[in-house]
Amino acid sequence: MRTVIFDLDGTLADTSGDLLAAANHCFREMGHGDVLVHGQDAGIAVRGGRMMLTHGLKRVGAYDEGTVDAFYPVLLEAYAQDIDTHTQFYPGALEAVEALKTAGYGVGICTNKPERLAHQLLSQMGVLDHFASLVGADTLPVRKPDPEPLREAARRAGGHPDLCVLIGDSDTDRNTAKAAGVPSVLVTFGPFGDDMAALEPEALLHHFDDLPDLVTELIGAAA
């Protein structure tokens, strides 16, 4: 089976608002107040919890690796407590997923979000059963850009890892697909949209309405 594997944050959904809120919870506990700005710092948010803590602490001149390590679990807990207040799927994302499944493709997720949080987010938003696989940052001993999580997501979705395409929003996704020897499609509507063309993916995605046709062009029809 041919499969379409999606990154989550910044690709399928804009999760930045809830991620930034969790980071600012930590900064308030440190006594710095709200350091990161919704919208403006969306690109930092989708790079993960440690990146948010690092950037925020550097912004206020208080960076210390030990502080990042100490507050990372605090951030994860704050995020788990309020994970879907601001998160929204990008226009057409879920419709594209259903169209791909109807066409016969297996559909899964490969994310660098911890698996339990990805599972929780998708469950609370009522879409977990839309996807045949979910591989997170800690599902395997390695994470993207190592190619194995992508390959495993394809396998768990019922597909062959050589017959998949990765839909993403970053150099991490581009490098993951390249390492796996499969094509990548990078979205232009995420936080790094203007930078995607320079990464030279096999295709750019400007709206999810175009995805089914792109997938067929890149990996062939599902049947």
| pLDDT at residue 37 greater than cutoff 90 | yes
What pLDDT does 121 receive? 98
φ, ψ dihedrals at 188, nearest 5°: -100, 0
Q: In what helix (H) or strand (E) does residue 84 lie, and over which residues does it extend?
A: none
How many percent of the chain have pLDDT more than 70? Answer: 100
Query: Could you tell me the pLDDT band of residue 193, with boundaries at 50, 70 and 90?
Result: confident
Q: How confident is the model at residue 194 (pLDDT cuts 50, 70, 90)?
A: confident
Does residue 113 contact residue 75 with C-beta atoms inside 8 Å?
no
* Residue 192 clears pLDDT 90, i.e. is over it: no
Output the pLDDT for position 101: 97
Is 71 exposed, middle or buried (CB count within 10 Å of its CB: 0-12, 13-18, 19+)?
buried
Catalytic choice (7, 9, 18, 169):
7
Distances, alpha carbon 6 to alpha carbons 44, 84, 162, 185, in Å? 20, 19, 15, 10
- 11-25 pLDDT per residue, tens: 999 999 999 999 999
Q: What is the pTM of this model?
A: 0.95
The least confident of 85-89, 114-118, 126-130, 187-191 is: 187-191
For the segment 98-134, what is each residue's pLDDT rounded down to a tens digit? 999 999 999 999 999 999 999 999 999 999 999 999 9
Give the separation between CA 41 and CA 213, rounded to whole angstroms.
32
**pLDDT at residue 223 tops 80:** no
Catalytic residue at 7? yes
Q: Can you read off the two tokens belonging to residue 54?
A: 């690092």
What percent of the chain is predicted at pLDDT more than 90? 95
Kindly tell me if the per-residue pLDDT of 178 is higher than 90: yes
* The three-state (H, E, C) secondary structure of 34-60, written as one string: CCCCCCCCHHHHCCCHHHHHHHHHHHC
Q: Once rounded to an integer, what is the mean pLDDT over residues 160-176?
A: 97
- The pair phi, psi for residue 142, each rounded to 5°, is -120, 160
